[in-house]
């Protein structure tokens, strides 16, 4: 069964540094998403991406965040200057179309020191 | 009302028990709903989709009451492997775009 893959599984970074989280969505999917989950809290929406542009973003997704689909297969989330409160699990998800559900990658654990 | 609200539990049940989880949602325009399960420090995995009044898949039954804006998940004949957090998830605005997650209901099945 096709799946969403994410790398790295764990990223440790100093505060203020840039990080790039990578995702390879399921190949025939059209809609791409990033979510995050702070330890012990619920999963929160960050951004959705369709047709090579952001379709919606949350208040969390401020100017420090950006997304790209540089080559038609990868989907990346960049955090320009990380803060301690960016420490969380980051999940990428994708879906095909219509009412189909989103499928999640196994996440990147981001730890900011 | 919170966008998606669930009883956090935990529900501690013996193997073989039947257990039911409830979820209420605030957006009356939502058309489809999902139950995901999440194991500790893992990704959410789709358990069931609910598009009309309900859905059944083996030991799992989901029911939807649009008038009350209420969704339930019933698990029959609980197994040890059912121990997880069950997430009620509602796409916003019916456009199947961003997902709004409940905080989850924790289930622990013991021998």
- Give contacts of A102 with chain B, Cβ < 8 Å: 46, 99
pLDDT of B1 over the 80 cut: no
Contact B101 A44 (CB under 8 A): yes
| Interface check A55 vs B, CB under 8 A | yes
CA distance linking residue B63 with residue B56, whole number of Å: 9
User: For residue range A2-51, what is the model confidence (pLDDT) as tens digits?
Assistant: 799 999 999 999 999 999 999 999 998 999 999 999 999 999 999 999 98
- A103 strand-pairing partners: A94
**A56 contacts in chain B (CB < 8 Å):** 97-98
Judge whether residue B94 has pLDDT over 60. no
Average pLDDT, stretch B55-73? 93
B95 has a pLDDT exceeding 60: no
pLDDT at B22: 95
**Running DSSP on this structure, what letter comes out for residue A109?**
E
For A41, name the nearest residue in chain B, comparing CA atoms only: B103
What per-residue confidence (pLDDT) applies to B93? 63
Which pLDDT tens digit goes with each residue over B11-47? 999 999 999 999 999 988 888 899 999 999 899 999 9
Contacts of A33 in chain B (CB under 8 A): 98-99
The mean pLDDT of B62-83, rounded to a whole number, is 95
* Cβ–Cβ below 8 Å for A102 and B99: yes
**pLDDT tens digits, A52-108:** 899 999 999 999 999 999 887 899 999 999 999 999 999 999 999 877 889 999 999
Q: Is the pLDDT score of B96 beyond 60?
A: no
Average pLDDT, chain B: 91
CA dist., res. B67 & res. B4, Å (int): 15
User: Long-range contact list for A39-46, CB < 8 A, 24+ apart?
Assistant: A39/A87, A39/A88, A39/A89, A41/B103, A42/B87, A42/B101, A42/B102, A42/B103, A42/B104, A43/A91, A43/B44, A43/B87, A43/B99, A43/B101, A44/B101, A45/B98, A45/B99, A45/B100, A46/A77, A46/A90
Best mutation site among A7, A40, A104, A111 for testing chain B: the one with the most B CBs within 10 Å?
A: A104
State the best of B98, B101, B102, B103 to mutate against chain A, taking most chain A CBs within 10 Å. Answer: B98
Quick one: pLDDT at residue B92? Answer: 81
What local confidence, expressed as pLDDT, does residue A100 receive?
A: 83
């Amino acid at each position: 069964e096709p799946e969403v893959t994410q790398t790295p599984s764990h990223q440790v970074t100093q505060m203020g540094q840039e990080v790039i989280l990578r995702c390879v969505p399921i190949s025939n999917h059209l809609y791409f998403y990033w979510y995050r989950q702070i330890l012990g809290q619920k999963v929160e929406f960050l951004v959705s991406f369709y047709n090579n542009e952001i379709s919606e973003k949350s208040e969390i997704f401020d100017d420090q965040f950006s997304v790209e689909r540089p080559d038609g297969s990868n989907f990346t989330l960049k955090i320009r200057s990380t803060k301690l409160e960016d420490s969380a699990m980051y999940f990428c998800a994708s879906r095909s179309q219509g009412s189909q559900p989103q499928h999640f990658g196994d996440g990147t654990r981001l730890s900011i020191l | 009302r919170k966008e998606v609200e669930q009883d956090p539990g935990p529900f501690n049940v013996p193997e073989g028990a039947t257990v039911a989880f409830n979820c209420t949602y605030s957006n009356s325009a939502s058309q489809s709903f999902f139950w995901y399960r999440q194991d500790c420090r893992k990704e959410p995995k789709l358990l069931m989709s609910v598009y009309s009044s309900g859905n059944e898949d083996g030991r799992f039954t989901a029911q939807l009451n649009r008038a009350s804006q209420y969704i339930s998940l019933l698990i029959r004949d609980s197994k040890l492997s059912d121990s997880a957090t069950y997430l009620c998830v509602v796409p916003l605005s019916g456009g199947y775009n961003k997902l709004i997650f409940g905080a989850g209901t924790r289930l622990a099945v013991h021998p």
